[in-house]
Structure 1
Amino acid sequence: MNWLFKEEPTHYSFDDFTKDKKTMWSGVRNPVAQKHLHAVKKGDRVFFYHTGDEKAVVGIAKALGDAYPDPDDKTGKAAVVDIAPVKKLARP
């Protein structure tokens, strides 16, 4: 499955993500986005989209495992997923 994850590059850019080598994708609170996040499975491809001025897919990542409960969510309803960068796109 393919997914589109979006982020403001001034908050967390694909370059930051590449330096970190992996991240727990968290902080998603929109109910529809959470529904989709719960469906992410290990090996799924993630297109990393920069919002703001860029408005472009700038890289590709992969899900390192299935989505799991957000450890910071007291309700137990929110999900997170661990992802790792695969490659930066030369031309978004």
Structure 2
Amino acid sequence: MARWLLKTEPGTYSFDDLVKDRKTVWNGVTNTTALKHIRTMAKGDEVIIYHTGDERTAVGTATITSKPYPDPEADDEKLVVVDIKAGKPLASPVTLATIKADKAFAGWDLLRIGRLSVVPVPDAMWDRLMELAE
């Protein structure tokens, strides 16, 4: 099982929207590296939803519920999507400033490649994020 961080602009589609909808198709990703990550996702993978923009905060969890498949709304076969279902909000959202200040996250793609919308989360970093969220 892999773990991922998925970024979303809360004004476009927030974690609260996902909770209300219960599930959604995670689409709109066009970056080559992010699409490569989506192609490696599997049903059951865990996700942290991260709000971008002014918030810059990890806010909740979700689960991948499908294998990657071609985006049915795109004319480009290279664009893939996955289905996700809402998990729980983090008891204490974790800000980007907190993540940057914690040595446990040194070298993480979230910090190294800030524009990347799909980021793998190594197990140790996932565990640390969950600790910070308690």
1:86 CA drift (Å): 1.0
Q: Which residue of 2 aligns with 1:22?
A: 23
Q: Which residue of 1 aligns with 2:65?
A: 64
Q: Which residue of 2 aligns with 1:46?
A: 47
Larger radius of gyration: 2
3-state SS in 2 of match to 1:91: strand
Q: Which segment is superposed worse, 81-90 or 70-79?
A: 70-79
1:77 CA drift (Å): 1.1
Between the aligned partners of 2:76 and 2:59, the Cα distance in structure 1 is: 33
1:85 CA drift (Å): 0.7
Between the aligned partners of 1:33 and 1:41, the Cα distance in structure 2 is: 15
Higher strand share: 1
TM-score computed with the length of structure 1 as normaliser: 0.95
One-letter amino acid of the counterpart of residue 55, structure 2: E
Q: Which residue of 1 aligns with 2:80?
A: 79
3-state SS in 2 of match to 1:59: strand
Between the aligned partners of 1:85 and 1:74, the Cα distance in structure 2 is: 28
1:75 CA drift (Å): 2.7
Between the aligned partners of 1:75 and 1:85, the Cα distance in structure 2 is: 27
Give the share of equivalent positions with the same residue, in percent. 51
- How much is the aligned-residue C-alpha RMSD, in angstroms? 0.8
One-letter amino acid of the counterpart of residue 72, structure 1: E
Give 5+ residue unaligned stretches, structure 1. none
Q: Which residue of 1 aligns with 2:128?
A: none
TM-score computed with the length of structure 2 as normaliser: 0.66
Tell me if 1:35 matches 2:36: yes
1:54 CA drift (Å): 1.3
Between the aligned partners of 1:19 and 1:28, the Cα distance in structure 2 is: 22
Between the aligned partners of 2:76 and 2:53, the Cα distance in structure 1 is: 31
